Amino acid sequence: MAQLTYRASVSLAIAQSMRKDQKVFFIGEDVGAAGGVFKATVGLLEEFGKERVMDAPISEQAILGAAMGAAMTGLRPIAEIMFSDFLAVCWDIVANQIAKTRYMSDGQINIPLVIRTANGGGSKFGAQHSQSLENWSMMIPGLKVVAPSCPSDVLGLMDSAVKDPDPVIFYEHKSLYAFKEEIEQTDLSIPIGEANTLHEGKDITIIGLALMAQRAKDAALILKDKHDINAKVIDLRSLVPLDLHTIKKSVIETGHVMTVEENPRLCGWGAEISSLISEHCFKNLKGPVTRVTTPHVPLPSADILEDNTIPSVELIVNEVIKKLKGE
Amino acid sequence: MVDKLNDDIGEEKRLQLWEMMLKLRLVEKKAYDLFLQNLIKGTSHLALGQEAIAGAFGVALKKGDYTFCTYRGHAHTLARGSSIEGVLGELMGRQCGLMKGKGGSMHLTDVDKGVMGSYAIIGAHLTIANGTALASKYNKTNEVSVCFFGDGTTNIGAFHEALNMAKIWNLPIVFVCENNLYMEYTPIHEVTAVEHPAADRAGAYDLDKIIVDGNDADEMLRTAEKAISKAREGKGPSLIEAKTYRHSGHSRADPGKYRPDEEVKDWMENKDPIKNYRSKLLDFNINEKIISEIEEKIKDQVEKATEISMASPIPEIKEIYTDVWANGGSEWHN
Ligand SMILES: Cc1ncc(C[n+]2csc(CCOP(=O)(O)OP(=O)(O)O)c2C)c(N)n1
Ligand SMILES: [Mg+2]
């Protein structure tokens, strides 16, 4: 048994994929010699050399374009976009090119690539280095969207993402890089599209992703200990494909649902889930689906402001109590 | 005056180039006819007048090489050997089309022929073409990637990102700027800081300044072969600026009225690559009968392909839901 951080699991996951398949290479800014701005890719250059670990210029379009072109020939690139916010400068390559080329070419072209990117708040970096952008990519047909919440999921989901014949955006949460887990075996593989239950319960279904899944789990522990509420916490792990089956099963049991989202309110992923639940489980619902999100504002920077913008464990606890007990 | 003794190109290749250019011209004209009959819907961007560029590269490239072109890409696709019915069928939205109607005029793709797609967002494909070039380098194979684009494309960021990356990684790629003097409706010189939109930027990326008469098929072929060999030998990228002119408007709906009549007349009458090449073939003492036979052959091919395309069924509605994912489907939840 070894303790592994989320950060270390990223470099290990990439290394494991690169050891298994010569077709896998890694490209990004400051990823090689520097080991990444979050130190999540330390050691890769040393192990695999410059041919497979490429330090790129500050050219997000060129990075993703090169990854896409290489993937079109059958290579399996992993490309890093340093902060997910920077996806905005190469969104054409992501949303128009990578996502649509398979369809437009009538299936002549596959694009088996992974875009990994540091996502989410908690670091007080302000509105342009802290966003939770999973929903941006969720709304584009042709992109798979993965967001692991713990080191073992990083390992297992990265393995699947690299092997996946379709493009996968892999959102790593900045505030989880220091998260530790005891891991027995590191060579894991977790299918993309299978949600994970982080806490069992029959009173309410709380649905989260990445950091919000962990916070929902912490909230569930408090709800159980102090308020006699048993919450089932579903960590979606991926938005596309979405494990609707697991959601439905739990909603049928609990009748109460809450999504916990780090993104601003409008068009957050929870809106789609809420809509699916009302379509599929309307008769099982004992009340409206509640969405806990950040307010619809750009993320502020100061400690107190950021902390009160992103849903906290305390907020989740309070919202659940309010919902179930009307307090 | 032609120097027949020191002819580096030769009759065989010239006839090949002639046949190629003629095919591009006649298919494009047919596409225009089909629009007028409303058999082709949507938009379309013809490369009439620019055939020598795609044609020369078509002759110079080998099987396995990768090409990337723009929405103005019917010619570049045909130049790699894609079938005429594949192209016309796609324009007409028929099952015989290269992508069975899923892509349309602006996205012609034929991977078997090395046609890695036609791209409709200005600049994107320069970065993507770097990727196939990178793959050739990574795999230590010797394919060359060629990327065609317009003069207007030199003003978008992706152009600059792509050139820099190609240079620092010494990629086996040829960037071909087809300078037809206009970006859509605006003269390129009105919106560009330098006189030669591509060539004057080459130095910034430590590339040679290459300007060629893109309507002189022989010169175009020589320039293409040189740049392709350089890339194939591992000596890195090239940026070519080929001066040319489009005979028709920017796209289907555009009559091209923003261009002075005199200018259009000069390019159509005096600088038409195909008309001029025909005279050149005669100057090289190539038998006019051979030239005409090729003309007849191509006309015939175009007519037959048109018939095939018109007879081809329209796509089935269920095709909407196929091929988003590699599993062939479009499901996003279980
Ligand atoms: C990013 C982007 N901006 C604008 C357009 C609209 N547009 C399509 S073609 C075109 C002109 C391009 O000119 P040029 O690169 O010279 O190519 P040409 O059409 O002359 O072959 C423009 C502005 C686009 N497709 N993509
Ligand atoms: Mg132009």
DSSP-assigned letters across all residues of B201-250: HHGGGT---EEEETT-HHHHHHHHHHHHHHHHTT---EEEEEE---SS-S
Question: Which residues, 6+ apart, have CB-to-CB distance to B162 below 8 Å?
Answer: A61, A62, A65, B123, B126, B127, B129, B130, B147, B175
One domain, residues A218 and A89:
no
* Residues B128 and B145: beta-carbon distance below 8 Å: no
Residue A48 lies in a domain: yes
Question: Which residues, 6+ apart, have CB-to-CB distance to B214 below 8 Å?
Answer: B50, B52, B53, B178, B179, B220, B242, B243, B244, B273
B70 pLDDT band, cuts 50/70/90, is very high
Residue A188 lies in a domain: no
The parent domain of residue A271 ranges over 196-325
Residue A189 lies in a domain: no
How many angstroms does the Cα of residue A290 sit away from the middle of ligand 1? 46
How many residues are present in chain A?
327
Instruction: Give me the domains of chain B, ranges plus CATH numbers.
Output: 31-308 (3.40.50.970)
Instruction: Give per-residue pLDDT as tens, A167-210.
Output: 999 999 999 999 999 999 999 999 999 999 999 999 999 999 99
One domain, residues A259 and A313:
yes
**Dihedral sign (CA B192, B196, B198, B201):** negative
One domain, residues A163 and A26:
yes
Residue A21 lies in a domain: yes
Distance separating alpha carbons of residues B243 and B214, to the nearest angstrom: 5
Residue A217 lies in a domain: yes
One domain, residues A28 and A116:
yes
CB pair distance less than 8 Å for B109 and A166 = no
Residue B308 has, within 13 A of its CA and on its CB side, a CA count of 17
| Number of domains, chain A | 2
Chain B residue numbers with beta carbons less than 8 Å from the beta carbon of A106 are 98-100, 102-103, 109, 323
One domain, residues A106 and A205:
no
One domain, residues A210 and A145:
no
Residue B5 pLDDT > 90? no
One domain, residues A42 and A145:
yes
What's chain B's average pLDDT? 97
Chain B residue numbers with beta carbons less than 8 Å from the beta carbon of A165 are 325-327
Residue A77 lies in a domain: yes
Residue A221 lies in a domain: yes
Residue A63 pLDDT > 90? yes
Reported pTM: 0.98
In a 3-state reduction of DSSP, which class is residue A81? strand
Distance separating alpha carbons of residues A69 and B132, to the nearest angstrom: 5
- Displacement of CA B229 from its chain's centroid (Å): 19
pLDDT at B3: 73
One domain, residues A149 and A280:
no
One domain, residues A125 and A209:
no
Domain boundary among the residues A183, A217, A242 is at A183
- Identify the closest residue of chain A to B100 by CA–CA distance: A106
Residue A190 lies in a domain: no
Chain A residue numbers with beta carbons less than 8 Å from the beta carbon of B114 are none
Q: What is the CATH number of the domain that holds A53?
A: 3.40.50.970
Residue A104 has, within 13 A of its CA and on its CB side, a CA count of 21
One domain, residues A118 and A224:
no
Residue B6 pLDDT > 90? no
Nearest ligand to residue B50 Cα: 1
Q: Is the reported ipTM for this assembly greater than 0.95?
A: yes
Q: What share of chain A is helix, strand, coil (3-state, %, to 5)?
A: 40, 20, 35
Q: What is the CATH number of the domain that holds A317?
A: 3.40.50.920
Q: Token digits for B139?
A: 């795999």
Q: Where does ligand 1 bind, in terms of residues with CB under 6 Å?
A: B 72, 120-122, 149-153, 180, 182-184, 250
* Residues A285 and A266: beta-carbon distance below 8 Å: no
One domain, residues A308 and A231:
yes
Domain boundary among the residues A120, A153, A183 is at A183
Question: Hey, is the C-beta of B326 within 8 angstroms of any chain A C-beta?
Answer: yes
- Displacement of CA A242 from its chain's centroid (Å): 12
Question: Which residues, 6+ apart, have CB-to-CB distance to B49 below 8 Å?
Answer: B180, B215, B244, B245, B246, B247, B248, B267, B268, B272, B273
Q: Which residues of A are catalytic?
A: 129
What pairs with residue A253 in β-bridges?
A: none
pLDDT at A326: 84
One domain, residues A85 and A174:
yes
Domain boundary among the residues A139, A157, A183 is at A183
